[in-house]
A and B are shown apart, each in its own frame.
Chain A
Amino acid sequence: MRAVDAVMECLKAEGVDVVFGLPGGANLPTYDAFVDGGIRHILVRHEAGGGHAAEGYAKATGKVGVAFATSGPGATNLITPICDAMMDSVPVVFITGQVRTELLGTDGFQEADTIGITMPVVKHSFMIQDPNEIPRAIHEAFHIARTGRPGPVVVDIPQDLSRADINYEPITDVRLPGYQPTLEGNQKQIRQAAKALAAAQRPVIYVGGGVVNANASAELVEFCTTDRFPVTCTLMGLGAFPANHPQWLGMLGMHGTRAANYGMDEADLICAVGARFDDRVTGKLSEFAPRAKFIHIDVDPAEISKNVPAHIPIVGDAKHVLAKLLIEYRALTPDSARLQAWWERIEAWREKHPLRYEDSSDQEIKPQYMIQALYEATGGEAIITSDVGQHQMWTAQYYGFPAPRRWINSGGLGTMGFGLPAAMGAAVGCPDRLVCCVAGDGSVQMNIQELATCAQEGIPIKVFIMNNGYLGMVRQWQELFWDGRYSHVDTGKYPDWVKLAEAYGASGMRFEDKTTLVQDIKRAIATDGPVLVDVRVTREENTYPMIPAGQPAREMVG
């Protein structure tokens, strides 16, 4: 069997139902195999679009996403999605073509050292040197991508090796002696954590994307509600705990709520679950949660005590650990009444500092209102992707995510242009769900070409551009911290989004009136096929509240 046909068999054995990619010289053999391979392939218009689509697919479904590219420029176009998947722990396997082995190292046509270039931003990578290794490498790649702390894995296959005739036998085991993620969590540590939680007077449960990755939302909710623990989620953790729950404090961090940030600041015990104390969460590290002791639950031991020393470290998968923690905690039968004073303090913050904005007195659409209208029009039930900027933060603040895997964005890398292709991937993975993208007028152009893919494939994403005519988040920083000296942030009035949508074979719409906005959004959603909407919003609105970078939480402004 040709090695490339074995690749198809391996993908099917891994349960892959769709691949995003774009062919070229070095992966011509692979693309020949797609003709009869029995795997759906979606032709993207730029490899970065394919990579982000694979991420969107993975985040929405929990399965491993797959993206293909040719050598050289095809592979280098994947760098951003690979790095993005690394930062946000997204399971994606990237399979790249490479020049023939005789050309390796000679600067051959379309040769790039893909393994070398990607090494700092992959969980692991495989350079194929023997065609017989291909099946094993592919299965190992999937295993590594999906287990432990998920992440991107690259498999680089030289063109000549992919044409080789190999003896393919299905592989049922993977042997990785240097890779054994710890999932269970140490029982003694878990017991200690339960005791600390039972004794805490001012606890906060601080939840990150690891809970979503571990599919541990149900365990989280059960644990947090077995007592009255206040819960906050990071940008990546939104939806892991339902936003309409009375114990929910809102998102924490730079644009989080005061209840969440002040809660962390005054807590005596913080239990971090699948979160990594990013600088956007901690603010000034030396003044972060100065009164707290820390329990840190994470599947990646290197995250524990990386930024903030943990008093009770627990290496393990959130699903396993939370289930055990619940049992240990219940056995202690703690008295919830001890949390009464703490809740009173939290309620006071909530009452005094809810998320707020000044609405317009005419038809003007405030960006915050746009998100509220989207929530209303979708009943809060859509999968929402976003780009990066103000619109991303407003979506995180105002679209109360009721469940995990509904909120898909680029957190760690902050990749503009992520939203549209990620929505495409999510819609392919979840065809029965409404998928909307809240895009930035600046960001969306970075992968707008995938609208053609959506039109060709009939992928019905609804893209709502929050059009403020600015690289808004940068403009906000220039206004607040650089004396209002605007430098290259005005994106002007081009392109004409409605015409652009139509040129790509999508439906284009423009909304400018807040009084009809909910109805208008419903109309866009009811329109078949991909839709791109230009939503004109207030140009100079700032995202508040905000912890200025490098400041402690107490210094929140706005």
Chain B
Amino acid sequence: MIVGEPATNTTLSLEELQAAGNLRTGRKHVLSILVENKAGVLTRIAGLFARRGFNIDTLTVGPTDDERVSRVTLTVDGAVHPIDQVTKQLHKLINVLKIRDLEPEGTVSRELALFKVSADGTQRGELMQIAEIFRGSVVDVTKRSVIIEITGTTEKIEAFEEMVRPFGLIEMMRTGEIAIARGRTET
């Protein structure tokens, strides 16, 4: 669904309005934002969120196949913020080209995480087994620890975290989500 696009002025029914309007949707929103690749754009987005009191849950920025354009993927809690206001305000930034509020069912989203877990000889085997179930890979091993790489949805990473925590989680790093729309159309 493309919401709040400044150039769209299609008729909305009252029901649609109430759904899209200032009401909170209660779900997580993944916003995929195309921006001009210019200095300060990320500051403008971050500043806008801070100023309007919106919380960013995760944020990733990367290049696209067009060097003049970057993609920002960010997740916002629709239970807390009126998503329609968030996207409309984002659209007002001159360097923002396009925003898509990705429907969870129609989207493939991935996150990369690195877990550093304490593991002496006895625990290592069990850890490796869990990693395998999650299709993770061990990328570093020392006498007292291992580093495991996991890719997947946020839910999968959170599940893995729960599994390894009892072993002694030394640290964890996550990239934040990137997301792409399913099917032939561009995100």
Q: Is B139 an interface residue (CB 8 A)?
A: no
Residue of A nearest to B43 (CB): A119
Q: Is A310 an interface residue (CB 8 A)?
A: yes
Q: Let me know if A180 and B7 touch, CB within 8 A.
A: yes
Q: Is B6 an interface residue (CB 8 A)?
A: yes
In the complex, how many angstroms separate the beta carbon of A336 from the nearest chain B beta carbon? 27
Q: Let me know if A176 and B94 touch, CB within 8 A.
A: yes
Near A by CB (< 8 A), chain B positions 18-32 give: 18, 21-22
In the complex, how many angstroms separate the beta carbon of A369 from the nearest chain B beta carbon? 43
Q: Is A181 an interface residue (CB 8 A)?
A: yes
Residue of B nearest to A299 (CB): B6
- Decide: A311 near B11, CB < 8 A? Known: A120-B47, A182-B6, A305-B21: no
- Decide: A178 near B11, CB < 8 A? Known: A302-B89, A305-B21: no
Q: Is A124 an interface residue (CB 8 A)?
A: yes
Q: Is B153 an interface residue (CB 8 A)?
A: no
* Separation of A188 and B8 alpha carbons in the complex (Å): 13
In the complex, how many angstroms separate the beta carbon of B89 from the nearest chain A beta carbon? 5
Residue of A nearest to B86 (CB): A302
Note all chain A residues with C-beta closer than 8 A to B12. Answer: 313
Q: Let me know if A311 and B17 touch, CB within 8 A.
A: yes
Q: Let me know if A124 and B94 touch, CB within 8 A.
A: yes
Q: Is A179 an interface residue (CB 8 A)?
A: yes
Q: Let me know if A302 and B85 touch, CB within 8 A.
A: yes
Note all chain A residues with C-beta closer than 8 A to B51. Answer: 120
In the complex, how many angstroms separate the beta carbon of B68 from the nearest chain A beta carbon? 9
Q: Let me know if B97 and A177 touch, CB within 8 A.
A: yes
Q: Is A306 an interface residue (CB 8 A)?
A: yes
- Decide: A189 near B11, CB < 8 A? Known: A305-B17, A309-B22: yes
Q: Let me know if A186 and B96 touch, CB within 8 A.
A: no
Residue of B nearest to A314 (CB): B9
Residue of B nearest to A316 (CB): B9
* Separation of A300 and B81 alpha carbons in the complex (Å): 20
Q: Let me know if B21 and A179 touch, CB within 8 A.
A: no
In the complex, how many angstroms separate the beta carbon of B21 from the nearest chain A beta carbon? 5
- Decide: A309 near B17, CB < 8 A? Known: A181-B6, A301-B4, A315-B6: yes
* Separation of A315 and B40 alpha carbons in the complex (Å): 29
Near A by CB (< 8 A), chain B positions 61-103 give: 84-85, 88-89, 91-97
Q: Is B39 an interface residue (CB 8 A)?
A: yes
Q: Let me know if B22 and A182 touch, CB within 8 A.
A: no
Q: Let me know if A178 and B7 touch, CB within 8 A.
A: no
In the complex, how many angstroms separate the beta carbon of A349 from the nearest chain B beta carbon? 31
Residue of A nearest to B96 (CB): A178
Q: Let me know if B95 and A178 touch, CB within 8 A.
A: yes
- Decide: A185 near B40, CB < 8 A? Known: A120-B51, A177-B97, A309-B22: no
In the complex, which of the residues B17, B36, B39, B89 contacts A178, with contact meaning CB atoms closer than 8 Å?
B36
Q: Is A115 an interface residue (CB 8 A)?
A: yes
In the complex, which of the residues A178, A181, A309 contacts B97, with contact meaning CB atoms closer than 8 Å?
A178
Q: Is B10 an interface residue (CB 8 A)?
A: yes
Note all chain A residues with C-beta closer than 8 A to B96. Answer: 178
In the complex, which of the residues A129, A176, A185, A302 contacts B91, with contact meaning CB atoms closer than 8 Å?
A302
* Separation of A192 and B4 alpha carbons in the complex (Å): 20
Q: Let me know if A127 and B36 touch, CB within 8 A.
A: no
In the complex, how many angstroms separate the beta carbon of A354 from the nearest chain B beta carbon? 37
Q: Is B133 an interface residue (CB 8 A)?
A: no
Q: Let me know if A116 and B17 touch, CB within 8 A.
A: no
- Residue-wise, chain A 106-148 has the 8 Å CB interface mask toward B (1 for contact) of 0000000001100110011001010000000000000010000
- Residue-wise, chain A 165-194 has the 8 Å CB interface mask toward B (1 for contact) of 000000000001111111011101100100
- Decide: A309 near B21, CB < 8 A? Known: A115-B40, A124-B94, A302-B91: yes
Residue of B nearest to A116 (CB): B43
Some 6 contacts from A to B, beta carbons below 8 A apart, are: A119-B40, A120-B51, A301-B91, A309-B17, A309-B18, A310-B17
Report A's interface with B, CB cutoff 8 A: 115-116, 119-120, 123-124, 127, 129, 144, 176-182, 184-186, 188-189, 192, 300-302, 305-306, 309-311, 313-316
Report B's interface with A, CB cutoff 8 A: 4, 6-7, 9-12, 14, 17-18, 21-22, 35-36, 39-40, 43-44, 47, 51, 84-85, 88-89, 91-97
- Per CB-CB distance, the 9 closest pairs between chain A and chain B, nearest first, are A302-B88, A186-B9, A124-B94, A178-B97, A188-B11, A305-B21, A179-B94, A309-B21, A120-B51
